[in-house]
Amino acid sequence: MRKLLGFAMMGVGVILLIVIASTFFFSSNAQSSVSEVTENIDGINELMLESKAVNWTIIPVSDKDLRISVSGDEVNDIFKVNRQGRSLEILTEQKNFRWFPSFFGKMVDREAIVYLPEEYTEDLIISTVSGEVTLDGDLTFQDVDVDMVSGSFSNTGLLQTDSIRFDSVSGNVDTSGLISQDVHADSVSGDVHLGYAEGHGDIDVDTVSGEVSIVSSDLNATYEFDTLSGAITDQGTRLKAREYSSSVGEGQYQITISTLSGDIVVE
C-alpha cells in the first residue's frame, strides 16, 4: 500500500511539474533582456537560474562579478534578469519551445556558462526543463535546490553545502566530492548517485524507476531501505530482502532509501 501511495504521489508530482514548467519560466517580473549577463552579486544571498532547453555549466572564478555567456541557436536577448532585494534571478527562454519532443529526442542546442565568483557561498536554486547542469570545480554553498524535468545533474571537484535537494523527472543525479549534512532527492525516472568526499550526513532518497547508490569512505548511520522490484546491496553483500534495516559505525545519521523499480547500493 505504501508503494502504491508513493507511486500515485509521484504521478501527481509529474502533472504538477508539467503545469509549472509551462508557465514558470515566463516571468512578468523580469527587468531586462540581454544576450550576456554581468552582475555584481555583493549582498546577494540567493542566486536563481531558470531555463528551457539550455545546458548550464557553473565555473568558480576569482572575479568579483557574476558573468554568464551563451552559445548556440537563437541566443540574442535570451537572458531575463530580475533583481529583487537580496535575490538575483536569471531566466532563459526558447521561442517555439516544444514540450513533448524534449522527452523523445535531444533538442538542447545552447550552452550557458556561468562564471561564478568563488566568494559567493550563499544559496543556489536551479530549475531546468530539458537541460543538463554541471558544476565544474570546487564550490561551496549554504543550500542548493535543483528541479529538473528531462535533464541531469553532475559535478566535478568538491561540492560543499549545508543541504542539497534534488527533484527530478526523467534525469540522473550524479555527485562526487560531496560534503553535506542533509541530502534529499526525489526522482521519477533516473539514477541517483551520491559520492561523498568525506563522511556524510542525513540522506533521504525516493525514486520510482532508477538505481540509488551511496558511496562514502566513512559510513556512520542507521538506515532503512525498501524496494519493490530491485536488489539491495550493503557494503558488498547482496541481500534478498525487499525491506532492510541496519546500522554502521555509531549510527549518527539517518539514511532512508525507497525505490519502486531500482537497486539500492551502499558502499
pLDDT digit string, tens, across residues 77-109 = 899 999 999 999 999 865 554 544 444 444 557
In 10 A of CB 99, how many CB atoms? Answer: 14
Q: What is the pTM of this model?
A: 0.85
Please list the helix, strand and coil fractions of the chain in percent, rounded to the nearest 5, in that order: 10, 55, 35
HSE of 189, CA atoms in CB hemisphere, 13 A: 8
Express each pLDDT in 122-166 by its tens digit: 999 999 999 999 999 999 999 999 999 999 999 999 999 999 999
pLDDT score recorded for residue 76? 85
Give 115's strand partners: 59, 67
Amino acid at 185: A
Alpha-carbon gap, residue 146 to 165, rounded angstroms: 6
